């Protein structure tokens, strides 16, 4: 990662007041459940966006980043017209302004080592870093628990991606060494201890390097289908269909595709709850089968996996992983495999071999431990 402070000085000719960092995330389990008012269990990655920032004497905001060399400037009157990576910054300014906050004029330099397009929330990390910096610089009275919804509004309304609240919640509310159990309806959180090293375990993240893009129609189509099913079933959200009422609910739906979408959400919510129970009891290894069942549900019922992702899961399991699943919105991105820490190299090699046999672009893999959420750096 380039030094954000040095980037700030190079772009603006002065020292930043401080640096604020916000991480990418992986989701241990609970996929597409967030916009169904359900449960998710992400943890923060060590990879993060760093925002070096200072208040500005001039009106408006100026931002530079290592995404693109050209700095971007905008004022409150031109706020609606910002595009590309800077739209995530302008979106945060817009969401704060729209919520009645007096957003301070600022200069910001951004650096990031969160892989882009890998389904690990590089955009939520960017929004969260900017939001945290602006809230601190402006002394905004904005409780941490209220911040994810504002960053989500930046993405939903300004950028136009119909995502749920998981990614921004993970980037802002996660804690080091823990997974974040989030109830996406009440926004209540429980920090679940997740000490992989103490159990001799590791989470291997395998980036399929297959392109990932959920601003396109598939993510929105899944969301629409879930909302339509909830309407037909007469419930506020699919969260309200419990596993014991699932068969009855499925009986009320004519469309087979919609039935399978509902089955994924209802069973996935239960898998999150079961995973949390096991982790509370310190039984990390035993969550493996739930991860693998989650993957099968995403592959067969929700239909959001791609061949590269399925092959990575199968190869990791064949190499001895306790469980493996795709993480994130789908149609590419990353796979998580729960493995013995000593098996990282052999598991990675097994996935690489499987990819080479099929002439897929080579995957990249790294081990992840839960890092901290958004914070001001010392
Ligand atoms: C993407 C979205 F941004 C999240 O809100 C969530 O729905 C996820 O896909 C799937 O669980 O990351």
Q: Of the given ranges (68-77, 81-90, 109-118), which has the lowest mean pLDDT? A: 68-77
For residues 297, 302, 306 and 310, what is the CA-based torsion angle, rounded to 10 degrees? 0
Which run of H or of E encompasses 118?
none
Burial class (CB in 10 A: 0-12, 13-18, 19+), 198: exposed
Active-site annotation holder among 102, 141, 167, 183: 167
Please indicate, yes or no, whether residues 118 and 262 belong to a single structural domain of this protein: no
Instruction: Tell me, using a 6 A CB cutoff, whether residue 122 lines ligand 1.
Output: no
Please indicate, yes or no, whether residues 214 and 263 belong to a single structural domain of this protein: yes
Residue environment code for 162-195, b if the CB has 16+ CB neighbours within 10 A, otherwise e: bbbbbbbbbbbbbbebbbbbbebbeeebeebebe
Choose the final residue of a domain: 194, 217, 244: 194
What pLDDT shows up at residue 1?
Answer: 44
Please indicate, yes or no, whether residues 108 and 201 belong to a single structural domain of this protein: no
Please state the φ and ψ torsions of residue 326, each to the nearest 5 degrees.
Answer: -70, 150
Over residues 321-331, the mean pLDDT reads 96
Binning pLDDT at 50, 70 and 90, where does residue 324 land? very high
The residue whose CA has the least distance to atom 7 of ligand 1 is 32
**Domain-located, residue 102:** yes
Task: Using alpha carbons, select from 140, 209, 130 the residue that is nearest to residue 172.
Answer: 130
Task: Report the distance separating Cα 21 and Cα 43, nearest Å.
Answer: 15
Mean pLDDT for the chain overall: 96
Instruction: Tell me, using a 6 A CB cutoff, whether residue 163 lines ligand 1.
Output: yes
Q: Of the given ranges (24-33, 77-86, 313-322), which has the lowest mean pLDDT? A: 77-86
Binning pLDDT at 50, 70 and 90, where does residue 107 land? very high
Could you read off the pLDDT of 174-198 as tens digits, one per residue?
Answer: 999 999 999 999 999 999 999 999 9
Instruction: Tell me, using a 6 A CB cutoff, whether residue 37 lines ligand 1.
Output: no
Domain of residue 347: give its range.
197-368
Choose the final residue of a domain: 179, 194, 209: 194
**Domain-located, residue 374:** no
Task: Report the distance separating Cα 32 and Cα 264, nearest Å.
Answer: 9
Q: Of the given ranges (81-85, 198-202, 350-354), which has the lowest mean pLDDT? A: 81-85
Helix axis angle, 288-300 relative to 256-280, nearest 10°?
170
Give, as one character, the DSSP assignment of residue 196.
Answer: T
Task: Report the distance separating Cα 118 and Cα 116, nearest Å.
Answer: 6
Q: How many helices (H) and strands (E) does the chain have?
A: 11, 13
What pLDDT shows up at residue 128?
Answer: 98
Please indicate, yes or no, whether residues 220 and 140 belong to a single structural domain of this protein: no
Q: What is the CATH number of the domain that holds 117?
A: 3.30.230.10
Task: Report the distance separating Cα 298 and Cα 31, nearest Å.
Answer: 8
- Say if pTM beats, i.e. exceeds, 0.90: yes
CA of 214 to the centre of ligand 1 (A): 9
Q: 121 labelled as ligand-binding?
A: yes
Statement: residue 214 has pLDDT above 80: no
Statement: residue 213 has pLDDT above 60: no
Binning pLDDT at 50, 70 and 90, where does residue 80 land? confident
CA 289 from chain centre, in angstroms, equals 22
Ligand 1 atom with least separation from CA of 124: 3
Q: 122 labelled as ligand-binding?
A: yes
Statement: residue 2 has pLDDT above 60: no
**Domain-located, residue 343:** yes
Please state the φ and ψ torsions of residue 191, each to the nearest 5 degrees.
Answer: -85, 115
Q: 340 labelled as ligand-binding?
A: no
Pairing mode of beta strands 334-340, 323-327: antiparallel
**Domain-located, residue 377:** no
CB 45 within 8 A of CB 114: yes
Please indicate, yes or no, whether residues 249 and 207 belong to a single structural domain of this protein: yes
For residue 378, what are the CA distances in angstroms to 19, 126, 312? 8, 19, 39
Instruction: Tell me, using a 6 A CB cutoff, whether residue 32 lines ligand 1.
Output: yes
Please indicate, yes or no, whether residues 21 and 165 belong to a single structural domain of this protein: yes
Binning pLDDT at 50, 70 and 90, where does residue 212 land? low
Statement: residue 155 has pLDDT above 50: yes
Over residues 194-222, the mean pLDDT reads 88
Over residues 68-81, the mean pLDDT reads 85
The residue whose CA has the least distance to atom 3 of ligand 1 is 163
Binning pLDDT at 50, 70 and 90, where does residue 154 land? very high
Choose the final residue of a domain: 194, 212, 232: 194
Please indicate, yes or no, whether residues 119 and 63 belong to a single structural domain of this protein: yes
Listed in sequence order, the residues at least 6 apart from 19 whose beta carbon sits closer than 8 Å to its beta carbon are 4, 5, 50, 51, 52, 53, 376, 377
Please indicate, yes or no, whether residues 145 and 265 belong to a single structural domain of this protein: no
Task: Using alpha carbons, select from 194, 205, 148 the residue that is nearest to residue 171.
Answer: 148
Instruction: Tell me, using a 6 A CB cutoff, whether residue 164 lines ligand 1.
Output: yes
**Domain-located, residue 376:** no
The alpha-helical segments, DSSP class H, found in the chain are: 4-12, 86-98, 122-137, 147-153, 166-173, 217-233, 246-251, 256-280, 288-300, 307-318, 344-357
Q: 208 labelled as ligand-binding?
A: no
For residue 4, what are the CA distances in angstroms to 16, 20, 212? 9, 10, 27
Length of the chain: 378
Statement: residue 133 has pLDDT above 50: yes
CB 16 within 8 A of CB 5: yes
Over residues 14-33, the mean pLDDT reads 98
Q: Has 167 been annotated as catalytic?
A: yes
CA of 32 to the centre of ligand 1 (A): 6
Q: Of the given ranges (57-61, 69-73, 248-252, 271-275), which has the lowest mean pLDDT? A: 69-73
**Domain-located, residue 375:** no
Residue that wins the pLDDT comparison between 73 and 214: 73
Q: What is the CATH number of the domain that holds 288?
A: 3.30.70.890
Could you read off the pLDDT of 307-317 as tens digits, one per residue?
Answer: 999 999 999 99
Please indicate, yes or no, whether residues 179 and 281 belong to a single structural domain of this protein: no
Statement: residue 70 has pLDDT above 90: no
* Total structural domains within the chain: 2
Please indicate, yes or no, whether residues 244 and 345 belong to a single structural domain of this protein: yes
Please indicate, yes or no, whether residues 185 and 222 belong to a single structural domain of this protein: no
Please indicate, yes or no, whether residues 208 and 174 belong to a single structural domain of this protein: no
- How big is the CA angle at 127 (ends 122 and 132), to the nearest 5 degrees? 125
Instruction: Tell me, using a 6 A CB cutoff, whether residue 115 lines ligand 1.
Output: no
Over residues 257-271, the mean pLDDT reads 98
């Amino acid at each position: 990662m380039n030094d954000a402070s040095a980037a700030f000085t190079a772009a603006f000719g002065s020292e930043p007041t401080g640096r604020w960092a916000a991480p990418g995330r992986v989701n241990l389990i609970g996929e597409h459940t967030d916009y169904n008012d359900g449960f998710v269990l992400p943890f923060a990655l060590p990879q993060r966006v760093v925002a070096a920032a200072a208040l500005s004497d001039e009106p408006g905001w100026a931002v530079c980043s290592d995404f693109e060399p050209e700095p971007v400037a905008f004022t409150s009157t031109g706020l609606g017209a910002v595009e590309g990576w800077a739209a995530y910054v302008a979106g945060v300014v817009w969401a704060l302004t729209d919520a009645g906050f007096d957003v301070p004029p600022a200069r910001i330099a951004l650096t990031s080592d969160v892989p882009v397009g890998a389904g690990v929330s590089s955009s939520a990390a960017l929004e969260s870093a900017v939001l945290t910096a602006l809230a601190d610089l402006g002394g905004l009275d904005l409780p941490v628990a209220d911040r994810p919804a504002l960053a989500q509004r930046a993405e939903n309304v300004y950028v136009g991606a119909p995502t749920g609240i998981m990614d921004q919640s993970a980037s802002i509310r996660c804690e080091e060494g823990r997974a974040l159990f989030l109830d996406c309806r009440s926004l209540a959180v429980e920090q679940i201890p997740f000490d992989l090293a103490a159990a001799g375990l590791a989470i291997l993240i395998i980036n399929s390097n297959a392109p990932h893009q959920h601003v396109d129609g598939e993510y929105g189509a899944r969301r629409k289908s879930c909302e339509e099913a909830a309407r037909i079933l007469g419930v506020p959200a699919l969260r309200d269909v419990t596993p014991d009422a699932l068969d009855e609910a499925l009986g009320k739906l004519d469309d087979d595709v919609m039935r399978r979408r509902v089955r994924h959400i209802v069973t996935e919510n239960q898998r999150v709850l079961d995973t949390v129970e096991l982790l509370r009891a310190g039984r990390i290894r035993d969550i493996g089968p739930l991860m693998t069942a989650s993957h099968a549900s995403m592959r067969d019922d929700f239909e959001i996996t791609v061949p590269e992702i399925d092959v990575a899961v199968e190869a990791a399991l064949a190499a001895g992983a306790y469980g493996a699943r795709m993480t994130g919105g789908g149609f590419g991105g990353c796979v998580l495999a729960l493995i013995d820490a000593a098996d990282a190299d052999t598991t990675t090699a097994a996935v690489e071999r499987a990819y080479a046999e099929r002439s897929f672009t080579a995957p990249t893999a790294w081990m992840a431990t839960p890092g901290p959420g958004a914070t001001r750096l010392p």
